Amino acid sequence: MTLTPADLMEEMAARYASCACYRDSGTVVTEHLRANGNTTKSVLPFQTAFVRPHRFRFEFHDRFNDADPWQRYVVWRDGTTVRTRWDVTGREESPESLDLALAGATGVSAAAAHTIPALLLPNDVSGFRLPQHSRSVPPTDWPSCAARRRGANDPVDP
**Number of structural domains the chain divides into:** 1
Domain annotation covers residue 30: yes
Asked whether residue 67 is assigned to any structural domain, the reply reads yes
Dump pLDDT digits (tens) for 15-34.
999 999 999 999 999 898 88
pLDDT classification of 156: cutoffs 50, 70, 90: very low
pLDDT tens-digit series, residues 82-135: 999 999 999 999 999 999 999 999 988 988 999 999 999 999 999 877 766 544
Please give the residue range of the domain that contains residue 40: 21-127
How far apart CA 131 and CA 119 sit, in angstroms, is: 9
State pLDDT tens for residues 126-139.
987 776 654 444 45
**Domain membership flag for residue 147:** no
Asked if the structure places residue 115 within a domain, the reply is yes
pTM (two decimals): 0.77
Residue 47 to residue 28: CA distance in whole angstroms? 11
Measure the CA–CA gap between 74 and 23, rounded to whole angstroms: 15
Identify whether 29 is part of a domain: yes
In a domain, 62, yes or no: yes
CA atoms of 32 and 142, how far apart (whole Å): 23
Do the domain assignments include residue 41?
A: yes
Residue 49 belongs to a domain: yes
Q: Where do the H-state alpha helices sit in 36-111?
A: 98-106
Alpha-carbon gap, residue 108 to 105, rounded angstroms? 6
CA 140, 133, 28, 41 dihedral sign is positive
Give me the pLDDT at residue 147, please.
40
Digit-coded pLDDT (tens) for 37-59: 898 888 999 999 999 999 999 99
Distance (Å) of CA 132 to CA 28, 32, 115: 21, 26, 12
